[in-house]
Amino acid sequence: MTTQRSTFAKLQRERAKKAKAAAKREKRHDRGEDTDGIDIEGGDVVVVEAPRQEYRTEDTIQQLDDLHKRFEAGTISYERFEETKLELLSRLSVD
């Protein structure tokens, strides 16, 4: 049996929810209260406290690589993969 795909409306709600959370994080960061971070080491994705300005590009790229390997191995779900990937990609700056 196959699973039913998400509807477009559900995807739009999820995107709006993530955008709202990102705006809230950015607002907290502007006030100096941002402590969001992600640790993808080990068996599960765990949110840990880490200052936003201390992210290194090399570390973020390595975490993205590890995340992709874990997804391909089937150790994390697609939803968790997408959420974590978006968070990690938001750390990268485009010059």
User: Is 24 a member of any domain?
Assistant: no
User: Is 38 a member of any domain?
Assistant: yes
Distances (CA, A) of 55 to 29, 59, 80: 14, 7, 21
Q: How many domains does the chain have?
A: 1
Is there a contact between 52 and 34 (Cβ–Cβ < 8 Å)?
Answer: yes
User: Is 68 a member of any domain?
Assistant: yes
User: Is 83 a member of any domain?
Assistant: yes
User: Is 23 a member of any domain?
Assistant: no
Burial of 45 (0-12, 13-18, 19+ CB in 10 A): middle
Q: What is the pLDDT of residues 56-94, one digit of tens each?
A: 888 999 999 999 999 999 999 999 999 999 999 888 877
User: Is 21 a member of any domain?
Assistant: no
pTM for this predicted structure: 0.45
User: Is 7 a member of any domain?
Assistant: no
Q: What is the pLDDT of residues 15-44, one digit of tens each?
A: 888 888 888 888 777 776 544 556 555 555
Structure-token pair, residue 95? 């010059």
Range of the domain at 48: 34-95
